């Protein structure tokens, strides 16, 4: 039987988390200049797109598998005197909601509270995110809806607002597609068409908010701006049921080229949301190509007994999978750690060595993230985050629970 878990899909979360850390280190050390080098460092924000696509894939996959296992329309199987319905067995929404809350919220709340406590005794160089109102905004994933609520040490959490919004709306999108459009049957054509329509949310939203001078300045960071990345992951969950082979020797180089191309000026300056709508759409499309190019070869044939290729072996290696297991917690703490690292290295803001700031942040944030993971994770997740594997199966079967970050 094919497994629903894959060590390489856990491992790629490590790649995404380190990319986000690198781009933040580059920003803090003054590398976000509007030239080829500056845009190159800024584009390591691609880690966010990888997280979003991975979330879309992992969370929509149970819906796809439920439809895939349904009997064709008009067909029933005899089971003694009973008739077994051909309708798909769709995921439990309540179970899904509890698992999402359990995986995401406790570690997030601890981090937010810790950062606010730190700045009770440490001078805060930022001008936003102060007061009880902003604290509650950060605790409820609503800090991006209106200017002035992003807090020093928590600025990366804008992406968690998008993640949480996707978690909430996923059943609201998946149920009508599976039940009303596909009639609880396996209809990949209708699935892909429906997802193609949903993917238009992002470019339409981008054009709308860029074309409205009076639009809220934070609207470019609201979840609809990034919907295409989540939907791309959902489409990947359908494609892996149709494609027998996804050659990493083609896919990964295409992803690398798309990443390098994204550093061009036509994809905007060193910022997550460029000033022009066209630049934003181009950049987000290139990021989607990168994420699909890296994740696709890991997702196709998930759980098969085929010998792993070099890409799978790299991301499925023990140290990479271990870091992938704590990648969410690393994402949560790395910015506040970077705040301290800049002081320890005596780097005034926008100065210093990007490499040293990055490596020091990774070295300090990793054990903190590991301890946070051990504090809040389930027993199974804690076991997977050990430095060692108890047996071969615990290493190969590392969880790729829904990506967060």
pLDDT at 84 over 80: no
Query: Can you tell me the mean pLDDT for 323-334?
Result: 98
Q: Mean of the per-residue pLDDT values for the chain?
A: 90
pLDDT at 398 over 80: no
Cα-Cα-Cα-Cα dihedral sign, residues 236, 237, 242, 246 = positive
pLDDT of amino acid 213: 83
Angle, helices 93-121/131-139, rounded to nearest 10 degrees:
150
* More confidently predicted of 138 and 214: 138
pLDDT tens by residue, 346-395: 999 999 999 999 999 999 999 999 999 999 988 888 778 776 544 444 44
pLDDT of amino acid 4: 38
Measured CA to CA, the distance from residue 258 to residue 86 in angstroms comes to 42
Say whether 312 sits in a helix, a strand or coil. Answer: helix
Neighbours of 251 (CB within 10 A): 20
The DSSP 8-state label assigned to residue 265 in this structure reads G
Question: What tokens were used for 310?
Answer: 């070099």
Measured CA to CA, the distance from residue 190 to residue 25 in angstroms comes to 43
Confidence of residue 140 (pLDDT cuts 50, 70, 90): very high
For residue 11, the surrounding DSSP H or E stretch is: helix 7-28
Query: Can you tell me the mean pLDDT for 324-328?
Result: 97
Bridge-based pairing of strands 82-84 and 77-79 is antiparallel
Confidence of residue 83 (pLDDT cuts 50, 70, 90): very low
Nearest CA among 315, 290, 287, 286 for reference residue 302: 315
pLDDT of amino acid 391: 43
Nearest CA among 332, 326, 335 for reference residue 374: 326
pLDDT tens by residue, 189-214: 999 999 999 999 999 999 999 988 88
Give how far the C-alpha of residue 391 lies from the chain's centroid of Cα atoms, to the nearest Å.
29
Prediction pTM value: 0.92
* More confidently predicted of 379 and 344: 344
pLDDT of amino acid 308: 80
The DSSP 8-state label assigned to residue 176 in this structure reads I
pLDDT tens by residue, 263-322: 999 999 999 889 899 999 999 999 999 999 999 999 997 766 566 899 999 999 999 999
pLDDT at 66 over 90: yes
* More confidently predicted of 405 and 187: 187
Measured CA to CA, the distance from residue 319 to residue 322 in angstroms comes to 5
Measured CA to CA, the distance from residue 401 to residue 4 in angstroms comes to 10
């Amino acid at each position: 039987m094919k497994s629903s878990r894959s060590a390489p899909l856990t491992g790629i979360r490590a790649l995404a988390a380190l990319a986000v850390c690198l781009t933040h280190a580059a920003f803090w050390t003054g590398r976000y200049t509007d030239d080829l080098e500056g845009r190159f460092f800024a584009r390591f924000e691609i880690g966010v797109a990888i997280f979003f696509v991975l979330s879309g894939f992992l969370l929509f996959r149970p819906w796809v598998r439920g439809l895939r296992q349904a009997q064709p329309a008009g067909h029933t199987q005899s089971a003694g005197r009973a008739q077994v319905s051909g309708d798909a067995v769709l995921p439990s929404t309540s179970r899904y909601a509890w698992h999402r809350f359990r995986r995401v919220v406790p570690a997030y709340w601890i981090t937010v509270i810790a950062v606010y406590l730190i700045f009770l005794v440490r001078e805060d160089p930022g001008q936003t995110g102060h007061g009880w109102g902003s604290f509650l905004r950060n605790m409820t994933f609503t800090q991006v809806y209106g200017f002035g609520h992003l807090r020093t040490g928590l600025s990366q959490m804008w992406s968690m607002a998008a993640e949480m919004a996707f978690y909430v709306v996923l059943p609201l999108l998946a149920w009508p597609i599976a039940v009303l459009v596909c009639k609880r049957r396996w209809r990949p054509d209708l699935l892909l068409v429906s997802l193609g329509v949903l993917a238009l949310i992002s470019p339409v939203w981008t054009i709308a908010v860029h074309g409205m001078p009076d639009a809220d300045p934070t609207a470019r960071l609201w979840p609809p701006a990034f919907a295409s990345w989540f939907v791309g992951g959902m489409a990947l969950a359908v494609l892996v049921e149709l494609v027998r082979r996804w050659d990493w020797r083609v896919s990964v180089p295409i992803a690398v080229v798309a990443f390098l191309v994204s550093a061009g000026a036509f994809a905007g300056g060193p910022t997550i949301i460029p000033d022009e709508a066209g630049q934003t759409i181009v950049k987000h499309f290139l990021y989607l190509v990168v994420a699909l190019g890296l994740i696709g070869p890991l997702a196709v044939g998930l759980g098969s007994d085929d010998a792993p290729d070099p890409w799978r072996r790299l991301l499925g290696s023990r140290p990479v999978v271990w870091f992938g297991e704590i990648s969410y917690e690393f994402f949560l703490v790395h910015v506040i750690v970077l705040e301290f690292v800049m002081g320890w290295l005596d780097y005034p803001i926008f100065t210093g060595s990007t490499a040293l700031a990055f490596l020091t942040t990774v070295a300090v944030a990793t054990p903190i993230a590991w301890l946070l993971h051990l504090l809040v994770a389930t027993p199974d997740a804690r076991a997977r985050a050990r430095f060692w594997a108890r047996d071969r199966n615990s290493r190969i079967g590392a969880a790729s629970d829904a990506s967060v970050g």
